[in-house]
Amino acid sequence: MTDRVNISIKNHVAEVALNRPEKMNALDPEMFRAIAEAGEGLKGNHDVRAVVLYGEGSNFCAGIDTSTFGSMIGRLDEIRREMLELPAGEVANPFQKPAFVWQELEMPVIAALQGAVFGGGAQIALGADFRFASPDMRFSIMESKWGLIPDMGITQNLPKLLRADQAKELMMTARILNADEAYSLGLVTRLADDPLTAARAFAAELVTRSPEVLKGAKKLVEQTWAAAPGAGLKLEAELQAPIIGSTNQVEAVMANVEKRNPAFK
């Protein structure tokens, strides 16, 4: 575990804090690994009955750290292999794991959201069972801005929350939603002036219930509301692999960096 993610456990509640506030908790390779390891480390802890997931500072997670784009160019073949060749026993690749691991936990996970919840950060938040958002939260499935599709487990949770046309619109446009619109669409469970305090109070309420009820209710919904867990992950990777590093994806990045309209081919 690195200091990119901090974990504390008290009274049967684990608090997992994304700890890169100076970068809006943006995702670089170390952050990807740290979040996945945090979730994995909670799997065998039977003392934990609920998890509160939040970001230090003013933002939950601003998505991919765009400063890593340059370093990715020289290792695109390696990245594509990591996307498509899964570790033994896994249904999620290393890029999907930070979002999907929260659905793999037996206990409920509550995400406290504030500030930017963009791209990969939005997908991590969607991996939680509940999302409490502050009035200043801004939510976007932002990958299309960078010429990409969302591929961190979005197929595992968005179908439970949105109509297909709504999901396509948000994926294609990268439109930024305010907290009220995100709530009205069903992407947010509750609005709260202080979402972390509200999430902690809700976790404390949940742990007064039988652990078997919490685990059973989560499993019941996860396995019956939509497709089986993992069913769409392979398609995400197969679609993303040829996109990443392509001419149009690079153009999307450069147009944003140079503050101009992209010229896609």
Please count the other Cβ atoms lying within 10 Å of the Cβ belonging to residue 16: 24
Domain topology for 5-197+205-257: 2-enoyl-CoA Hydratase; Chain A, domain 1 (3.90.226)
Element (H, E) at 94: none
Amino acid letter for position 213: V
d(CA 133, CA 178): 10
- Quick: pLDDT tens for 236-250: 999 899 999 999 999
The pLDDT of residue 71 is 82
The pLDDT of residue 2 is 62
Angle between helix 29-42 and 97-104 (nearest 10): 10
- Quick: pLDDT tens for 78-100: 999 999 999 899 999 999 999 99
Q: Are 94 and 61 in contact (CB under 8 A)?
A: no
d(CA 62, CA 58): 11
Helix (H, G, I), strand (E, B) or coil at 40: helix
d(CA 135, CA 181): 11
Q: Are 211 and 49 in contact (CB under 8 A)?
A: yes
- Quick: pLDDT tens for 13-52: 999 999 999 999 999 999 999 999 999 999 989 999 999 9
pTM of the predicted structure, to 2 decimals = 0.92
pLDDT band at 67 (very low <50, low <70, confident <90, very high): confident
